């Protein structure tokens, strides 16, 4: 498990502190939802890339939750998160102990993904390459 309770903001990204958490449930409808064992949930609504090995060096497959084309994502069940980063450009990147890398970029027209967690943390990839962040009190954090 992560040693830090809250996500940490940097100049261009948020470190989500999901390290050590496992994917305990996967569901699909118009989106793909990964439930992690500590009340965190990752919901992907836009097409995303799932690759094995380094992001640009390994084989990669594009999955589309809207058409339920997500079979390859079942390999994430039980996987442990090594790294979880929400970039302020609206891209989400998750790295797992199985060697799988999940990358979901922002979408120009709609919210591509969201991550929710305890203490009312909410990260949303907004249309047009931006990131919105809310914490505890509902206060919107600066995304730029």
- Best CA proximity match to 88, nearest among 125, 114, 117: 125
The SS3 of residue 10 is: coil
Mind listing the pLDDT tens digit for each residue in 80-136?
Answer: 999 999 999 999 999 999 999 999 999 999 999 999 999 899 999 999 999 999 997
| C-alpha to C-alpha distance for 130 and 55, rounded to whole angstroms | 22
| Token pair recorded at residue 45 | 């609504």
φ, ψ (nearest 5 deg) of residue 75: -65, -15
Q: Band of the pLDDT at 53, cuts 50, 70, 90?
A: confident
pLDDT at residue 137 is higher than 80: no
What pLDDT was estimated at residue 111? 97
pLDDT at residue 57 is higher than 80: no
What pLDDT was estimated at residue 3? 41
| C-alpha to C-alpha distance for 140 and 77, rounded to whole angstroms | 32
What pLDDT was estimated at residue 136? 75
CA quadruple 85, 95, 90, 70: dihedral sign: negative
């Amino acid at each position: 498990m992560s040693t830090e309770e809250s996500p940490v903001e940097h100049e261009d990204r948020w470190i989500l502190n999901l390290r050590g958490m496992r994917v305990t449930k996967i569901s699909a409808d118009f989106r793909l939802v990964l439930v992690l064992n500590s009340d965190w949930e990752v919901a992907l609504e836009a097409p995303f890339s799932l690759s094995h090995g380094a992001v640009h060096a390994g084989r990669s497959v594009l999955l589309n939750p809207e058409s339920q084309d997500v079979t390859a994502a079942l390999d994430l069940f039980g996987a442990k998160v090594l790294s979880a980063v929400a970039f302020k450009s609206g891209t989400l990147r998750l790295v797992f102990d199985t060697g799988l890398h999940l990358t979901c970029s922002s979408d120009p027209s709609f919210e591509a993904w969201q991550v929710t967690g305890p203490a009312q943390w909410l990260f949303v990839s907004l249309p047009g390459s931006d990131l919105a962040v809310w914490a505890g009190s509902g206060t919107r954090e600066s995304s730029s």
